[in-house]
Structure 1
Amino acid sequence: MSSHDTDLDTPTTVTARCRNNRSVSMRLCDPSRPDEGRVQYAVEASPPGLAMRVDEVVTWTRGADLAPFLEGLAADYRGWNGQRIWQTNDRDLTVSAVFRSGGHVGPAWTLRPWRSAAGGWEASVTTRLDGGERTSALAVDVRRFLTQQDGGRG
């Protein structure tokens, strides 16, 4: 699910691929830690025939970040009603998830750069994942990705 640099325990990218169509993917990459309180990274989403990228997505290291959100989805592998939503403070990345029949989680990754600029755009890609083990593995990889030092080089 993730790619690794020289440290085998620290992913330098995290990729989630749709179980129904492997060409649909979302990738977290290029992490940096501009200061003690935040992590900055890029998000790429790739449905067939399109490539999207948002640079400088910021997650604060204190408070609710993406890893606990994904861990909560994995913990509820038997399902839930409705939609669960997480987003960065700047709302340039939003993840919404629904539970699907057959034990699958359907996270939609919405990229929304330059929200206040004229000509900004928004696009989403949905990656369907197996509910328990696959979602849990993604959560572990995201936690490692977000807690590493600059570029995974500690």
Structure 2
Amino acid sequence: MTPDLGTGDEAIVTICCRDNASVGVTFCDRFSFDADSVHSAVELRAPGLTWIWDSDLATFLEELAADYRGWDGERNWQTNDHDLTASATFRSGGYVGPTWALRPWPQAAWAPR
């Protein structure tokens, strides 16, 4: 994980795959509408990474926000080719536990731990 300074002294965090530095996730352009929220742009990169967006990630995230009082079990979202998957569980105290996995190659998997 590498914290950098972006424009306007905003933090940029980059997480790289230990086995292949060309695979990574960058969190940048952080902003907040109020004291209770933090937003970031997320950039995913890997050689051969394909995106088929017939499943809408924004809708998945909006549904999580709409159910702010909680839910049972785990909720999941993925791209058509399974390159990117997201899961979320509702935890005590009103917190959501998100998990993201980036798998750019069918024969090899990489996910942040």
TM over 0.5: yes
For CA contacts below 8 A with separation 6 or more, give which structure has more relative contact order.
Answer: 1
Q: Cα–Cα, structure 1 residues 72 and 14, in superposed 2: closer, same or farther, change >3 Å?
A: farther
1:121 and 2:112 matched: no
Residue identity in the other structure for 1:54: A
Identify the structure with the greater helix proportion.
1
Tell me the equivalent position of 2:46.
54
Tell me the equivalent position of 2:95.
104
| Identity over aligned pairs, percent | 54
Tell me the equivalent position of 1:75.
66
CA distance in 1, matches of 2:65, 2:73: 16
CA distance in 2, matches of 1:71, 1:82: 17
Tell me the equivalent position of 1:136.
none
1:28 and 2:42 matched: yes
Aligned length: 78
- What RMSD, in angstroms, separates the aligned Cα atoms of the two structures? 2.7
Gaps of 5+ in 1: 5-12, 16-25, 30-42, 44-52, 126-154
On the 8 A contact 1:110/1:124 being kept in 2, the answer is yes
Gaps of 5+ in 2: 1-5, 8-27, 31-39
Given the two structures, how large is their TM-score scaled by the length of structure 2? 0.57
On the 8 A contact 2:55/2:80 being kept in 1, the answer is no
Given the two structures, how large is their TM-score scaled by the length of structure 1? 0.43
On the 8 A contact 2:55/2:79 being kept in 1, the answer is no
Moved runs in structure 1, 4+ residues, more than 4 A? Answer: none
Tell me the equivalent position of 2:76.
85
Q: Cα–Cα, structure 1 residues 57 and 101, in superposed 2: closer, same or farther, change >3 Å?
A: farther
CA distance in 2, matches of 1:76, 1:90: 27
